[in-house]
């Protein structure tokens, strides 16, 4: 307070003046009360002596100014102190405001002095330090985000390049090295692919070289182990050299003897397998995040090169398979011609015995059949076996050793044949003399064949034979077997629901249907209605893998009653599930109706026996040749199939194969990882479970893929969405290929995850 003294003086003087009013007022009041007051000194002295209160009032002239002076000076000091404090606080507030403005402007370099007891100042300093730390953290985070975004955009960019150019390694390597050199702001780059030539040492072939924003001529080879390229390949680790000296010439890099500021060499490795090396020279320092990015891209390049190699191998295998399929088709045609020759031979025999053929065409025959375990004990015999060997009941032959049915003179050489059979040796085929229950000779054209387990171990021995003795009835049956081998017997292929899938001409002739009519029927439509219940029970066992053989009654299109005898057998697919049911048999209607007629033809059959035996020998020889060829062809096909499946199982991309009716028949481990389904969950399911209805409606490719018919879009890459088991959509690249084997069509999808 600048005029504090003047203020105190003024207030004190004013108080002194006011204090004079008190004694004057008191005297004036007494004067008004006293009538005889004369205004003399004596009267005034008497006034004060008679009334002491006036002395007290008079003392106020001193008390009030002194008290006022002291009080005013005290409050003036207090006000002055408060004003100084207020001024100090204002200055402090101004300094805080100025300091706060610098913080708002993110200027953290300003200093701010504080006292020990200034908690606000200390808080501001802590705030400045915190804001400064947050700013530095934000800058660092922003830089890291920019680097992550830079890396993510780069990976997506190079992912597109790798997917689009996978079929052209030269174009792929140039586009990759060109864009990668630009992306990391390098001066030049080189792309080397590891070559392992036949009979040659491994070396690196430069497939692309890019420098100074231009494509350079790439024709250079680096030997395995030479220079930094070789060192990088041997160690399978990246090599980064910064601050390359100007006189650097002692280390040979793939780029020659240049002296860049920094040099980076990265191997292309996928699951410890080396596919090549990429190399960059830069006039700038290559940052750690750029080095990490190049290594990630190198992994993707290695995966693409690995997939390209697999595609090349798969294409080669497919070409080989196609060539082998064509060869099989040629062999099939040759076999058909052989069968036509057999038919011609039979027709020749028919012309030589016209009277015999007329009777033969009215009768169907069956074979003698039995099964033995590896010890030679009989475990099954059909009715013809019992009949021909003169047994009445199955119990009479159960457990009998095979040697008991063989002529004693033949048992020694037959024992050697049997030993080879139980060890998995070649089947036996030839004439054999068997002994009936009553000791009669029964001559047959016999075949003993090994029946194996899935593990290729011998399970049992199958015996099939034709009666070639002088008995006329058996001679006719042998001729019927020859006809069945020539595919004149009944043959039909069914699915597990009993629907007719395929059939032969004899089947059509028997049931009197047209080809297009029979395909709309099932086996249950042909069985006699009175036997349908019993047949259904037998069918339930057949589709469980339990074979059935016997005879049953059927009805033709014209409602004629027929009898057929034969066997149902199951066929399994590659997954061990029953896929098809086959029935082979003969029409035995006329056999049942004409048994008496057979006895009347005994004399005719004896005259034709020699012709039949000669024809049978020639036919047996040709049958053996055809069987051998077919076995070899089947083994080749199985080997190719197993090899292809192994390749597809190990593919890094998801691979799904569907049949012509859109059922999933192959689902590799990579597909399990992509969709989240286990293989057993999707096999034999419709392909539509892998896509949502929304995807199917919007995407033309997917709609064609899951739709019926042969309208699928093949041999083209498409970007589509799939639906995982967790109901999430993913972006993928899909390539659909079509394969046709004989009449079977399948589609294989190669799928790469990009989402």
The model's pLDDT over 612-625, given as tens digits with 9 standing for 90+, comes to 676 667 666 766 77
pLDDT, position 277:
92
Q: In the structure, how many helices (H) and strands (E) does the chain have? A: 22, 22
CATH number for 487-600 (one of 3.30.450.20, 3.75.10.20, 1.10.287.110, 3.10.310.10): it is 3.30.450.20
DSSP code, position 683: T
The pLDDT tens digits of the residues spanning 636-695 come to: 656 656 666 666 777 778 899 998 888 998 898 988 988 999 989 899 999 888 898 888
pLDDT, position 599:
54
pLDDT, position 199:
54
The pLDDT tens digits of the residues spanning 40-49 come to: 666 656 666 6
The pLDDT tens digits of the residues spanning 118-146 come to: 666 667 667 666 776 767 777 778 777 78
Tell me which of 19 and 373 has the higher pLDDT.
373
pLDDT confidence tier of residue 9, bands split at 50, 70 and 90: confident
Answer yes or no: are the C-beta atoms of 62 and 68 closer than 8 Å.
no
From residue 120, alpha-carbon distances to 96, 113, 115, 124 in Å are 9, 11, 10, 6
N- to C-terminal Cα separation, the chain:
78
pLDDT at 604 over 70: no
Residue intervals of the chain classified under CATH 3.30.450.40 are 165-314
Three-state helix/strand/coil letters over 92-133: HHHHHHHHHHHHHCCCCCCCCCCCCCCHHHHHHHHHHHHHHH
Residue intervals of the chain classified under CATH 3.30.450.20 are 364-486, 487-600, 653-753
663 beta partners? 686
Three-class SS state of 538? helix
pLDDT, position 357:
46
Name which of 55-59, 280-284, 597-601 the model is least confident about: 597-601
pLDDT, position 595:
57
The pLDDT tens digits of the residues spanning 429-488 come to: 887 888 888 888 888 888 888 888 877 788 888 888 888 776 544 444 545 554 554 455
Name which of 383-392, 527-536, 570-579 the model is least confident about: 570-579
pLDDT at 748 over 80: yes
Residue 240, classified by CB atoms within 10 Å of its CB into exposed (0-12), middle (13-18) or buried (19+), is middle
Assign a CATH topology to domain 364-486.
Answer: Beta-Lactamase (3.30.450)
Helix ranges (H only) for 650-687 are 669-675, 679-682
pLDDT, position 630:
64
Closest CA to 276 of 218, 155, 190: 190
How far is 592 from 465, CA to CA, in rounded Å? 21
The pLDDT tens digits of the residues spanning 324-382 come to: 878 777 777 777 787 777 777 667 656 665 554 443 333 335 678 889 998 889 988 88
How far is 582 from 481, CA to CA, in rounded Å? 18
The pLDDT tens digits of the residues spanning 204-244 come to: 888 888 875 555 445 578 888 788 888 888 888 888 888 76
**Quick one: angle between helices 119-164 and 53-104, nearest 10?**
20
pLDDT, position 359:
38
Name which of 35-49, 179-193, 293-307 the model is least confident about: 35-49
The pLDDT tens digits of the residues spanning 699-708 come to: 989 888 888 8
How far is 520 from 556, CA to CA, in rounded Å? 15
pLDDT confidence tier of residue 587, bands split at 50, 70 and 90: confident
pLDDT, position 345:
67
Assign a CATH topology to domain 653-753.
Answer: Beta-Lactamase (3.30.450)
Q: Give the predicted TM-score (pTM) of the model.
A: 0.33
Residue 477, C-beta contacts closer than 8 angstroms, at least 6 positions apart: 365, 366, 367, 384, 466, 467
Residue 427, C-beta contacts closer than 8 angstroms, at least 6 positions apart: 421, 447, 448, 449, 450
pLDDT at 514 over 80: yes
Answer yes or no: are the C-beta atoms of 69 and 8 closer than 8 Å.
yes
CATH number for 165-314 (one of 3.40.50.150, 1.10.3720.10, 3.40.50.970, 3.30.450.40): it is 3.30.450.40
DSSP string, 265-299: EEEEEETTEEEEEEEEEESSPPPHHHHHHHHHHHH
Closest CA to 461 of 366, 569, 377, 567: 377
């Amino acid at each position: 307070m600048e005029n504090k003294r003047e203020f105190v003086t003024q207030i004190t003087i004013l108080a002194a003046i006011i204090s004079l009013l008190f004694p004057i007022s008191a005297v004036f009041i007494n004067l008004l009360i006293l009538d005889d007051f004369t205004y003399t000194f004596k009267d005034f002295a008497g006034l004060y002596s008679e009334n002491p209160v006036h002395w007290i009032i008079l003392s106020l002239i001193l008390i009030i100014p002194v008290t006022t002076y002291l009080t005013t000076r005290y409050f003036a000091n207090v006000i002055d102190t408060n004003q100084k404090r207020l001024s100090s606080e204002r200055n402090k507030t101004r300094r805080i405001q100025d300091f706060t403005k610098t913080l708002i402007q993110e200027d953290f370099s300003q200093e701010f002095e504080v006292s020990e007891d200034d908690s606000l100042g200390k808080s501001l300093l802590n705030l400045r330090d915190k804001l400064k730390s947050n700013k530095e953290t934000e800058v660092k985070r922003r830089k890291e985000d920019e680097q992550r975004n830079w890396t993510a955009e780069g990976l997506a960019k190079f992912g597109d390049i790798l997917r689009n150019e996978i079929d052209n390694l030269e174009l792929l390597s140039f586009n990759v090295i060109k864009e990668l050199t630009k992306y990391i702001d390098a001066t030049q780059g080189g792309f080397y692919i590891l070559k392992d030539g036949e009979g040659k040492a491994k070396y690196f072939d430069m497939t692309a070289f890019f420098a100074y924003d231009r494509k350079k001529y790439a024709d250079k080879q680096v030997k395995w182990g030479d220079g930094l390229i070789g060192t990088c390949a041997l160690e399978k680790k990246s090599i980064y050299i910064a601050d390359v000296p100007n006189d650097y010439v002692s280390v040979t890099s793939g780029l020659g003897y240049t002296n860049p500021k920094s040099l980076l060499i990265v191997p292309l490795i996928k699951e410890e397998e080396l596919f090549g090396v990429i190399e960059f020279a830069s006039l700038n320092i290559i940052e750690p995040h750029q080095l990490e990015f190049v290594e990630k891209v190198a992994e993707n390049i290695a995966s693409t090169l690995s997939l390209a190699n697999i595609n090349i191998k798969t294409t080669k295998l497919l070409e080989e398979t196609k060539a082998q399929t064509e060869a099989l088709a040629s062999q099939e045609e040759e076999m058909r011609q052989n069968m036509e020759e057999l038919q011609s031979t039979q027709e020749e025999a028919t012309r030589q015995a016209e009277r015999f053929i007329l009777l033969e065409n009215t009768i169907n025959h069956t074979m003698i059949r039995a099964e033995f375990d590896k010890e030679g004990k009989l475990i099954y015999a059909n009715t013809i076996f019992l009949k021909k060997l003169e047994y009445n009941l199955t119990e009479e032959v159960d457990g009998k050793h095979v040697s008991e049915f063989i002529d004693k003179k033949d048992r020694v050489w037959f024992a050697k044949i049997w030993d080879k059979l139980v060890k998995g040796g070649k089947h036996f085929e030839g004439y054999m003399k068997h002994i009936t229950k009553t000791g009669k000779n029964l001559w047959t054209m016999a075949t003993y064949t090994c029946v194996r387990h899935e593990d290729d171990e011998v399970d049992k021995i199958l015996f099939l034979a034709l009666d070639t003795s002088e008995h006329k009835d058996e001679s006719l049956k042998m001729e019927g077997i020859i006809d069945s081998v020539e595919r004149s017997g009944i043959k039909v292929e069914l699915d597990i629901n009993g629907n007719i899938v395929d059939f032969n001409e004899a089947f059509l002739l028997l049931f009197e249907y047209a080809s297009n009519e029979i395909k709309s029927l099932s086996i249950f439509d042909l069985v006699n209605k009175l036997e349908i219940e019993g047949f259904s029970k037998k069918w339930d066992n057949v589709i469980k893998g339990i074979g059935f053989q016997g005879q049953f009654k059927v009805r033709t299109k014209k409602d004629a009653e027929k009898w057929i005898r034969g066997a149902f057998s199951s066929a399994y697919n590659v997954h061990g599930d029953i896929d098809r049911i086959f029935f082979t048999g003969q029409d035995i209607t006329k056999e049942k109706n004409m048994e008496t007629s057979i006895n009347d033809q005994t004399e005719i059959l004896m005259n034709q026996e020699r012709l039949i035996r000669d024809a049978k020998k020639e036919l047996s020889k040709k049958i053996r040749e055809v069987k051998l060829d077919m076995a070899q062809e089947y083994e080749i096909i199985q080997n190719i199939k197993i090899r292809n499946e192994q390749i597809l199982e190990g593919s890094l991309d998801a691979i799904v194969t569907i049949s012509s009716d859109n059922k999933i028949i192959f689902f590799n481990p990579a597909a399990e990882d992509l969709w989240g389904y286990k293989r057993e969950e999707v096999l034999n399911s419709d392909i539509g479970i892998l896509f949502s209805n929304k995807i199917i409606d919007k995407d033309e490719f997917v709609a064609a893929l899951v739709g019926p018919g042969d309208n699928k879009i093949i041999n083209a890459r498409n970007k589509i969405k799939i639906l995982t088991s967790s109901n999430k959509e993913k972006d993928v690249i899909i390539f659909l290929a079509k394969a046709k084997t004989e009449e079977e069509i399948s589609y294989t999808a190669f799928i790469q995850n990009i989402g």
